[in-house]
Chain A
Amino acid sequence: MSNKHFRIALAGNANVGKSVIFNQLTGLHQHIGNWPGKTVEKAEGTLHFKGYTIDIIDLPGIYSLSTFSIEELISREYIATEKPELVINVVDASLLERNLFFTLQLLELETPLLIAVNQVDMAKKKGIIVDYEKAEKILGVPVVPTVAVSGKGIYHMLETAIEVIEKKTKMEPLKPRYGQEIEERIEDLIILLGKIQLRYPVRWVAIKLLEEDEEVEKEVLEVSPEIVATAEKLRDELEQLHGHSCPTVVTSERYQVASRVSGEIQKITEPLKTPLREKLHRVTTHRILGFPIMLAAVLAVFVAIFTFGDFTSALLGDFFFGLKPAFDSVLGTGIVGELIWGGVMEGIIGGITVALPYILPFYFILYLFEDSGYLSRVAFLMDNLMHKMGLHGKAFIPVMLSFGCNVPGCLGCRIMETARERLLTAFVVTLVPCAATSVIILGLVGAHVGIEWALALYIINLIIIFVLGRIAFKALPGEPTELIMEMSDYRIPHLPTVAKQTWFRLQEFIVMAFPLIIAGSLVIKFAEVMNLLEPIANIMSPITVTWLGLPLMAGIALIFGILRKELTLIMLATLFAPIPLANAMSSVEMIVFTLVAMLYIPCVATIGALVKEFGWKKALLITVFEILFALLVGGIAFRILTI
């Protein structure tokens, strides 16, 4: 039996079920990481089929192969330069026209292609029937129907893929033709381009030059500035002829081809009654009903997560701390034992009691919402509010995540389109009071000063987020961008895909946060064992005692808060013991302390996430700024409250 090695790339629009196909193909043999040097997810997997070893790579979901986003650039770079043996273009059977617009661009890249028309069952329900044989004839490449969620057609798709790779099927891929004016100019450019060496197909480069593609232009400019100048002249001519910018003219004509092809290969009969998903869409985006529904959904999620989380967390905590006597008997209670238990083990326990009970269900529900299509509706409703901060609707999603934990919030900033927006959103995200911060607000101020003060702190926090967000938005150079987003039809989430995504996110969290939490708790434990905490608290006293009016011990608690914010509260209670907190601190001290704890630093895991996404410099900048800002606010609050 031959054992041959192939690479197949999956490409297509967002929301066409591409990742479900990827899961069907690779099962558990997959690896999710990042594209080198980029914060774009790279999903790879391996498949053994009929003696072949096939590496499957799931390219990001995109609508075009231009330069709008990093995802588009990565995808076309991969296809054009890595040259996978086959690209499987997954298209949505009920949105053929727009999906074929992308297919045409793959054909222009002259890559070996197979088209999987997915979600044919959904399309049928919508009254859309696709003629695959005709599609094959027109497009000149194999076309197979699939229903990814049930695995239907996947086997046939693979068999066809092998046939294509082994060149058993003769193909004559369609060469999308534009109008005469454009074709003439493409020809002109092809003649000129024939004289230079290129990484891409010549015709594709010619078309991209007419589309004013900055990356292609840059590459050609290095070799031959004359060609770029000619292209500019040709573009001007086309603009004169058509009255629109040249990229628009090319896109427009490409869409005409897509429209013609889709018209020929599909039959549409309008369904008689409005389907449930359509009604659901109307209600969830309704100008009045949409908001209470969203609020109820978000609240339900948080209540569910915290109920589950608190219970499981306590259970896990009890279990792990139950191990302490066993540890002590092995390691002894000397300095080494103290360091290993208090530093390493308590760090691990801390991580586990957060990651499993809270982060896991959190991610799971998030992906459930995303996969069903609800998150895009939330972005639609919140767009206007986020605009006030210079962001747009999509930014609400990472912000919402951050109320649970800032780490997924920071990582969630990837959904923003530009680097500037990612950074702005991340900055806002680190100011959001996470679950641990809520523990301090409610457990200290809420319990001992009064719930109205706790509420006031939340409101102050929100005002601060708003004001700082706005200032950062004004200060950071660049134009604001606006929402352009597809709201795909509601669908039932595919559980295995959701579960897998949750699992990979959880892994990511553990890999990133655990070492930081453990290292951090080891350092602090070491300081404690060496009796360094009090001297450090004394050094900090001009700030903590003089400026903020806090007890000396509060400084130590704040240091612990760097690991995980709720530790500040636990440490306060421990440090003041046996005096109960209510007697140890005055109301003003509690409010100032909470205010500082709320704002003063993103915890070590969040800093880790910032470093991962934005690099050391920006992470450090945000951290230092927030420390100084928290001290400023705390000092002012102390003075106002003691007037």
Chain B
Amino acid sequence: MNLPLTALRNGETGVITSTDFSSEHRGMCEHRAGRGWKKHFRVARFAKRLSDLGLTPGTKVTVVKSAPFNGPLEVSVRGSRLAIGRGMASRILVDVER
């Protein structure tokens, strides 16, 4: 099943299938001038940050827990522990076996 990272239960592990929300944006950016392009840029910047921290396609990622009141997720990836804002986490797609 291909799900956003936020849909994983605590302790569940999935394999990342996509981290860049940029491909879907790109089409939009070419049509819309200015703002759209900037948005793509910004999103790409943070997608880059995520992959720099080890969240790349094909990587196993475990959701350890989420902070209360819809707070960030604590994930474990490549042996390190990261906190990721919920909005961004919802755009990371993972493949889970259920």
A positions within 8 Å CB-CB of B: 63-64, 66-68, 94-95, 97-98, 101, 211-212, 239, 243-245, 247-248, 251-252, 255, 259, 281, 285, 287-288, 290-291, 376, 379-381, 383-385, 387, 392-393, 479, 481-489
Contacts and interface: CB of A to CB of B under 8 A. Distances in A.
B74 A252 contact: no
A479 B42 contact: yes
Counting chain A CB atoms within 10 Å of each CB, the highest count among B22, B47, B53, B84 belongs to: B53
A431 B47 CA distance: 33
B67 interface: yes
B82 A484 contact: yes
24 contacts: A64-B52, A68-B45, A68-B49, A95-B78, A101-B52, A243-B23, A245-B23, A247-B44, A248-B47, A251-B51, A285-B65, A287-B68, A380-B67, A380-B74, A381-B67, A381-B71, A383-B85, A384-B68, A482-B72, A484-B49, A484-B50, A486-B80, A488-B80, A489-B81
Contact of A98 (B19, B45, B54): B54
A482 B88 contact: yes
Counting chain A CB atoms within 10 Å of each CB, the highest count among B18, B19, B59, B79 belongs to: B79
A246 to B, nearest CB: 10
Chain B contact residues, majority secondary structure: mixed
A593 B68 CA distance: 39
A271 to B, nearest CB: 13
A355 B46 CA distance: 39
A393 B72 contact: yes
Contacts of B69: 384-385
B36 interface: no
B83 A380 contact: yes
A623 B63 CA distance: 44
Counting chain B CB atoms within 10 Å of each CB, the highest count among A95, A482, A485, A486 belongs to: A482
Given A97-B54, A97-B78, A98-B54, A384 B71 contact: yes
Counting chain B CB atoms within 10 Å of each CB, the highest count among A287, A290, A376 belongs to: A287
B83 A393 contact: yes
B76 to A, nearest CB: 10
Counting chain B CB atoms within 10 Å of each CB, the highest count among A64, A252, A392 belongs to: A252
B44 to A, nearest CB: 7
B9 interface: no
Interface string B34-62: 00000100101111111111101111000
A94 B87 CA distance: 29
Given A66-B48, A248-B19, 4 more contacts: A95-B79, A248-B57, A255-B51, A484-B50
Contacts of B84: 482-484
A487 B56 contact: no
Contacts of A243: 23
A285 B49 contact: no
Interface of B: 18-20, 22-23, 39, 42, 44-54, 56-59, 65, 67-72, 74, 78-88
B67 A251 contact: no
Nearest to B22: A245
B48 A247 contact: yes
Counting chain A CB atoms within 10 Å of each CB, the highest count among B42, B72, B86 belongs to: B72
A383 B74 CA distance: 12
A98 B51 contact: no
A484 B73 CA distance: 10
A63 B18 CA distance: 21
A288 B79 CA distance: 26
Counting chain A CB atoms within 10 Å of each CB, the highest count among B74, B80, B81 belongs to: B80
Contacts of B23: 239, 243-245
Contacts of A489: 81
Nearest to A99: B80
A156 B85 CA distance: 42
A484 B70 contact: no
A407 to B, nearest CB: 28
Given A255-B54, A287-B65, A393-B72, A482 B48 contact: no
Counting chain B CB atoms within 10 Å of each CB, the highest count among A212, A379, A392, A483 belongs to: A483
B83 A483 contact: yes
A335 to B, nearest CB: 60
A380 B48 contact: no
A63 B72 CA distance: 20
B72 A248 contact: no
B28 to A, nearest CB: 14
B93 to A, nearest CB: 11
Given A244-B20, A380-B67, A252 B56 contact: yes
B82 A287 contact: no
A251 B65 CA distance: 26
Given A94-B79, A239-B23, A483 B72 contact: yes
Given A63-B52, A244-B18, A482-B88, A379 B42 contact: no
A632 B22 CA distance: 45
Contact of A484 (B44, B56, B85): B85
A67 to B, nearest CB: 8
Contacts of A380: 67, 71-72, 74, 83
Contacts of A393: 71-72, 83
Counting chain B CB atoms within 10 Å of each CB, the highest count among A98, A239, A486, A489 belongs to: A98
A244 B39 CA distance: 18
A243 B26 CA distance: 13
Nearest to B58: A252
Contacts of B68: 287-288, 290-291, 381, 384
A488 B81 CA distance: 7
B72 A383 contact: yes
A237 to B, nearest CB: 14
Contact of B46 (A95, A211, A484): A484
Counting chain B CB atoms within 10 Å of each CB, the highest count among A212, A243, A248 belongs to: A248
A484 B81 contact: no
Contacts of A245: 20, 22-23, 44, 47
Contacts of A379: 83
B87 A98 contact: no
A281 B54 CA distance: 21
Contacts of B65: 285, 287
Nearest to B81: A487
A252 B17 CA distance: 12
Nearest to B26: A245
B49 to A, nearest CB: 5
A489 B80 CA distance: 9
Contacts of B81: 281, 486-489
Contact of A487 (B46, B57, B83): B83
Contacts of A247: 20, 44, 47-48, 51
